[in-house]
Structure 1
Amino acid sequence: MKFLKASLFLLTMLSAGAIAQTSRDAKMDQFISSLMQKMTIDEKLGQLNLPGAGDITTGQASSSDIAKKIEEGKVGGLFNIKTAQKIRDVQKIAVEKTRLKIPLIFGMDVIHGYQTVFPIPLGLSCSWDMPLIERSARIAAIEASADGINWTFSPMTDISRDARWGRASEGSGEDPYLGSQIAKAMVRGYQGDDLSRNNTIMACVKHFALYGAIEAGRDYNTVDMSRVRMYNEYFPPYKAAVEAGVGSVMTSFNEVEGVPASANKWLFTDVLRKQWGFNGFVVTDYTAINEMVDHGLGDLRTVSALSLKAGVDMDMVGEGFLGTLKQSLEEGKISQQEIDMACRRVLEAKYKLGLFEDPYRYCNIKRSKTEIFTPAHRKEARATAAQSFVLLKNDHNVLPVKKSGTIALIGPLADATENMTGTWSVAADFSKSVSLLNGLKSAVGKQAKIVYAKGSNLTADPKLEERATMFGKSLRRDNRSAEEIRNEAIQIAKQSDVIVAALGESAEMSGESSSRTDIGIPDVQQELLKELLKTGKPVVLVLFTGRPLTLKWESENVPAILNVWFGGSEAGDAIADVLFGDVNPSGKLSMTFPQVVGQVPLFYNHKNTGRPLAEGKWFEKFRSNYLDVSNDPLYPFGFGLSYTKFEYSDIKLSSNTLRHGQEITASVTVRNAGAVEGKEVVQLYIRDLVGSITRPVKELKGFQKISLKPGESREVSFKITEDDLKFYNSNLDFVAEPGDFKLFIGTNSRDVREADFKLE
């Protein structure tokens, strides 16, 4: 009876919620319809225009060039403007000086934090901690909304398997399952459960679609793949964001099946809206419509019409919609209904954000003074960064370092405050970030002596360094000879007990338009590292990077390697926490590290060829392999060490047969066999052994992050259902096919226990 009453209560609540939602939707529809009846064609086209903020400064909003366009009803929103006061000034123009008083939407690239900056997204994904990732987005939303912003161009969910692509740093790696979980967590964090609250912001999933699969890893390049691959490997994270209720979607720069994404009706009308049920609005990326002229689709008027007809609602920066659609309408190239639908979607977003009710709800000056870069937020960012670091090697337990003696900190990234936040940290105050040098000094106090030398420039090529240190992130190039800079560091190193080498990429060496053909540690830094090793002192390589690097020599010769990505505003303190053992590293790679660049694209969930190389072999003639290097990655997907050791039992299955509508449970016992408490990410993979189409050798299907004290054991269980075995077949039907399967559970994609089961 109690169960029945509880069920009835739940059904009542769900029904009440559905009725309330229907009522809200009906009220919104009525409001938007009434407003649009009053709008002229020019005012409707104005809502589709998203320019950058341009020259607006505090106190001069009404006299700026953009202000005139706003007054004329030619602007639907702005991006890259911040502070509650500036945004209030601009919003005032829209709601007091325009005919219909339609408020603006304000967007910004809040990618991995606002002023409190969290690790770059690739680093954040290596935490494999969904509550932690969601909290990072929640804090970003609180801070951005306190500064007037109500829309972020995040999360980026592009699957990336080519480390040459700089924007790998902005995503969650190579795996569609992990990427989907992160996409949902980020959307929940940004949007909360009520977009009209003044501390939530609208998310924008990007870049739809397939941007991470560009040829040669060269940004903005061509993409070409089968639909089977799209649906099974690249679409899932975008779809997951839509299912999580993301409010907007951004187009990608690349083409899809020969049609640039911003004009691809199949993508935005058939897949996004009809198949997935997306009801938000679509915005282009920066000048993406204009760029279709260079793609070869026609002049600006032609491509603007194509984009609108494809299902794009808002034009970022290019003003092709604003300047050409009226003429295209008169010529019958587009319809009034298509303009109205795009306008309606933009207005609905503003309604959902509560802007019609209160245009200034995000412009509370008091909030901006008390809710941004707070001690609590910084503490969370520090703890999050420490969870993202990946321990790649630790021979002879060089780590953790003792807080005693003399510690030499050497390298161009050692005292690089401006670089700690990484790429896409546009709202950060770089001067407030914590460098590694300051982090170490703060951690040891008077217990140890920290000595520092730069040791080398970022690279021998000054022009390359200039390209890799843009946007205020200079490394202050030392103009002495490489030998002179290096010798100074060697003398300091010889006087130390241990050497911490802070090497790798600068913040802007990865990110947008930062593709690389050589993804190793740059030349002069490698030379420095080799000389440091010759001193005979223990060397710890603290690796800063926004992508997987080729570290074959380093892995063979350096005793300890800690990959710290770019940890955000609190990076220095977080790195110190891990180096000294106050935090046990628990990060796991979300992207495979190749031995050499010639292996890329390289990813764990590849398919077999018809001539696969036997496991454990390096080379066999007439098999799928290389002459000069093995097929193996340097570090596999899911890899990451700890200061303790975890032991796995064999897998126990509740049944070896999975029947329709039922489930089986796979369990392992994990034991902390070391001397310190640690966290472990227990990973579940499945292989479909026979299918109607070829299937990957492994696919991630679940994971759990657990914490174990020394000597503690825990049984970790995964429930497997028919849904976990489904894939898109050659007809693009989502099916699970009966047959034999292998199941793997382990500490990474390579080191696993195996079991077999059958789907009937």
Structure 2
Amino acid sequence: MLRQPNVSRRSVLISSACLFAWQASGIPAAMAAARRPLSGRVKSLIAQMTIEEKAGQLTLMPTPWTSAAAAKINPEAALRNVENLTDDAQAGRLGGVFNGFGVEAHRKLQTAAMKGRLGIPMIFAGDVIHGYRTVFPVPLGEAASFDPDLAERTARAAAEEMAATGFDWVFAPMVDIGRDARWGRTVEGAGEDVLLSSDMARARTRGFQGRSLADDASVAACMKHFVAYGAAESGLDYNTADISERTLREVYLPPFQAAVDAGCATVMAAFEDIAGRPIHGGREFLTDILRGEMGFDGLVVGDYNGDVEIAARGLAADARDAARIAIMAGLDLSMASGIYRDHLPSLVQAGEVPMERVDEAVGRVLALKERLGLFEDPFRRMDLKRQKARMRTKPALSLAREAAQRSIVMLKNDGDLLPLPRKGKRIAIIGPFAEGPSNLHGPWTLFADNKEAVDLASAVRSAVSDASFISVVKGSEVTVPIDGGIDAAVAAARSADIVILAVGEREAMSGEAASRDLIVVPAPQQALAEAVAAVGKPMIVALRNGRALALEGAILNAPAILVTWFLGSEMGNAVADILFGATGPSGRLPVSFPISAGQVPYYYAHRRPGRPANARYITSRYDARFPFGHGLTYGEISYADLAMSSKQIPKDGSLRVTVTIKNEGKYAARELVQLYVQDVVASVTQPVRELKAYKHVDLPPKRSQQVTFDLAAADLAFLGVDLKPVVETGKFKLWVAPSAEAAGLAEEFEVS
């Protein structure tokens, strides 16, 4: 179990007792170990501030000057009086706002703040998860590229656009591990694997922050949600999580550590509790682990109302008690609830919260603003000409198309149905996602215009030699049938040579508060698929989805299946590029697609059972329908000649692994070569396989290439019985394979 705090969270303490508890708890020592020295400017400001002004700096609020999409996400913003917001900014009762829209709105609030007594600039944050005006694939889709460099480039492009409109801070990347496909926020992360998620966390942090936070094209990154939000029971947002400390440290902490090591400036607390300890009020998480162990020295911000909600969970008596618990736990900045502004002054006056703790939190807020260059120029990211010049540039749109192409995963291509010819074939595009401007960008795109995205039907018409050969029929809505829809779809299929079936989830079915109990294609679309498939024409399924799905019936049995996620601004063009062979598919699944919905949570790196033959369901096997790492190309790829530099290495040694990859097909291909390892006998049982390395190789037709991996013994470390990293001697199995469950090529070696 996690360490429990030594100080009761319910104690109402007088000043001297509170200070003693604060010092005895070990919090100051933990914080000192991860504390960025404050500048003279920041120290001077803190010395001049009243407790009310300090509480204001620790308050972050939504703004009513926002986009329609953002207002739906954060409806309380629309209820706040505009005059009060500007008055609060000028009076020092507000440290920043989030999800504002445009330079004018940001300048208005910043101007008010600079008229304040101390002239402390505000900070402007935004939920720009995968693009501002130029929208890139949802993070889970982009993770299918297995390309951290691509993720860094798209994050940089998003930062350039949002910074041009006055944003200083982005609430991304989400680095939660997602192993339960029911959880809607799986779409925001990089999937189920620790290595891939850590690589993406590092890359996206670098992309957002650039070389310097003071650059007018950089924004502070915010890794979220700390920690183990993806472990919420039943895949349900805001729910409790009950995991072992081993699982916390082996699975959920490493991506956060990767972001910390990349210099991530801020972190957001998770909504859930772990074993009865809400993260927003858990000192053991926000201080002992995050600062004391991981060395994080930045700012900790709460999630929307997450601090006051610890009262609803039963950890605090009321909002005032919640404010005390959260600030003492290590939550520096309160988002949306206003409980720090409302209650910190009285808590300090009563001696229930030491001023020292408040000053630390304020120091972190001001230090971040200083690093962002806001004291030198509060309006440095607010330039109307720059805002116009940086939006949807040709390089950004080209990058969006590249990222979308690289994110598409081909699950099946029986009989080499794909790629399609550009002429001579009548194609029927059928399904609720066949055409139209919606459900292209994906969830968490608050500032983009849907009309600017390219849909599937438009792109296919542009890709073929004669657009009159293309027919489009909806056939069904996403979750309800259309009167006569199936009949119209069947007629279109009979008149066509090839069918493209565009089915799946609408974007609102993924994201926050969008958990699904059954991860299947909705019944009306499944019925549409069965009817269209019965016509007997070759059918390609183009899935629209933000999570792993359990595919069934005609959708599963289609000869060709593409996972197209939500790909953003260039979605239609990218899918058409793959369909007609302008580029080949190269994406790989970052999450396992289970055989049935009842399997979830399912992930490839599970531990070995004692009775493998019986570790199955009565009705189906216990493995993936399409495993992590799976994805096909238009090439014919073979693996041969696996060799190792040695079959025995010391505990401080390394191993070189080589394999020959050949493309025996007629199309060029980009193959993702994956290296997995299993520790056969260890003091703690180990997963059946763990990804240790991966590399892309580009192969022209009829060409081969040798791929080399260097595997250090240190890469084989795990947390021992004492939860400390250890490399143990013994036998290891090694696979070089095209997926986590493919046989591939196997070898064994020993660590001696």
TM-score norm. by structure 1 comes to: 0.91
Q: What does the per-residue CA deviation read over 1:496-523, in whole Å, with 9 as the maximum and x for residues that have no partner?
A: 1111111010111111111111211111
Q: Which residue of 1 aligns with 2:64?
A: 54
Distance 1:693 1:662 in 2: 22
Residue 556 of structure 1 deviates from its aligned partner by 4.8
Task: Determine if contact 2:236/2:515 at 8 Å carries over to the other structure.
Answer: yes
Task: Determine if contact 2:529/2:555 at 8 Å carries over to the other structure.
Answer: no
Task: Determine if contact 1:423/1:507 at 8 Å carries over to the other structure.
Answer: yes
Q: Which residue of 1 aligns with 2:711?
A: 720
Q: Which residue of 2 aligns with 1:93?
A: 112
Q: Which residue of 2 aligns with 1:700?
A: 691
Distance 2:659 2:555 in 1: 30
Task: Determine if contact 1:399/1:560 at 8 Å carries over to the other structure.
Answer: yes
Q: Which residue of 2 aligns with 1:17?
A: none
Give 3-state SS (helix, strand or coil) of 1:288's partner. coil
Identity %: 40
Q: What does the per-residue CA deviation read over 1:609-649, in whole Å, with 9 as the maximum and x for residues that have no partner?
A: 22222xxxxxxxxx222111111211011000111121111
Q: Which residue of 1 aligns with 2:74?
A: none
Distance 2:477 2:51 in 1: 57
Residue 64 of structure 1 deviates from its aligned partner by 2.5
Distance 1:304 1:127 in 2: 42
Distance 1:672 1:135 in 2: 29
Residue 54 of structure 1 deviates from its aligned partner by 2.2
What is the count of residue pairs matched by the alignment? Answer: 704
Distance 1:707 1:73 in 2: 57
Q: Which residue of 1 aligns with 2:517?
A: 517
Give 3-state SS (helix, strand or coil) of 1:755's partner. strand
> Is 1:247 equivalent to 2:265 in the alignment?
yes
Q: Which residue of 1 aligns with 2:441?
A: 421
Distance 1:432 1:291 in 2: 38
Q: Aligned to 2:190, which of 164, 172, 179?
A: 172
Distance 2:313 2:87 in 1: 32
Q: Which residue of 1 aligns with 2:542?
A: 542
Distance 2:591 2:210 in 1: 29
Code of the aligned partner of 1:288: G
Residue 85 of structure 1 deviates from its aligned partner by 2.3
Give 3-state SS (helix, strand or coil) of 1:159's partner. coil
> Is 1:677 equivalent to 2:668 in the alignment?
yes
Distance 1:661 1:560 in 2: 47
Task: Determine if contact 2:141/2:567 at 8 Å carries over to the other structure.
Answer: yes
Q: 1:555 to 1:673 in 2, by over 3 A?
A: farther
The worse-fitting range, judged by mean Cα deviation, of 436-445 and 244-253 is 436-445
Distance 1:649 1:432 in 2: 46
Code of the aligned partner of 1:166: G
Residue 106 of structure 1 deviates from its aligned partner by 0.5
Q: What does the per-residue CA deviation read over 1:188-239, in whole Å, with 9 as the maximum and x for residues that have no partner?
A: 1000121111001100000000000111111111101111111111111111
TM-score norm. by structure 2 comes to: 0.92
Q: Which residue of 1 aligns with 2:724?
A: 733
Distance 2:286 2:232 in 1: 19
What are the residue-to-residue correspondences of 1:131-150 with 2, within 5 Å? 131-150=149-168
What are the residue-to-residue correspondences of 1:457-468 with 2, within 5 Å? 457-460=477-480
Q: Aligned to 1:113, which of 131, 136, 156?
A: 131
Q: Aligned to 1:231, which of 249, 252, 276?
A: 249
Q: Aligned to 1:434, which of 416, 432, 454?
A: 454
Distance 1:716 1:163 in 2: 33
What are the residue-to-residue correspondences of 1:34-433 with 2, within 5 Å? 34-55=44-65, 64-95=83-114, 97-298=115-316, 299-404=318-423, 405-433=425-453
Alignment gaps of 5+ in structure 2: 1-35, 68-77
Task: Determine if contact 1:403/1:448 at 8 Å carries over to the other structure.
Answer: no
Q: 1:145 to 1:329 in 2, by over 3 A?
A: same
Q: Which residue of 2 aligns with 1:15?
A: none
Distance 1:284 1:447 in 2: 51
Q: What does the per-residue CA deviation read over 1:636-688, in whole Å, with 9 as the maximum and x for residues that have no partner?
A: 11000111121111421101112133211011111111111111111111111
Give 3-state SS (helix, strand or coil) of 1:144's partner. helix
Q: What does the per-residue CA deviation read over 1:315-346, in whole Å, with 9 as the maximum and x for residues that have no partner?
A: 00001111111111122221111000000001
Code of the aligned partner of 1:547: R
Task: Determine if contact 2:504/2:543 at 8 Å carries over to the other structure.
Answer: yes
Task: Determine if contact 1:305/1:334 at 8 Å carries over to the other structure.
Answer: yes
Code of the aligned partner of 2:745: R
CA RMSD after TM alignment: 1.7
Residue 722 of structure 1 deviates from its aligned partner by 2.2
Distance 1:665 1:438 in 2: 49
4+ long deviations beyond 6 Å: none
Code of the aligned partner of 2:41: F
Distance 2:379 2:697 in 1: 43
Distance 2:489 2:675 in 1: 45
Distance 2:105 2:183 in 1: 36
Alignment gaps of 5+ in structure 1: 1-24, 461-480, 614-622
Distance 1:418 1:745 in 2: 40
Distance 1:343 1:30 in 2: 14
Q: Which residue of 2 aligns with 1:756?
A: 748
Distance 2:491 2:616 in 1: 45
Task: Determine if contact 1:393/1:555 at 8 Å carries over to the other structure.
Answer: no
Distance 1:93 1:423 in 2: 33
Give 3-state SS (helix, strand or coil) of 2:674's partner. strand
Distance 2:556 2:503 in 1: 17
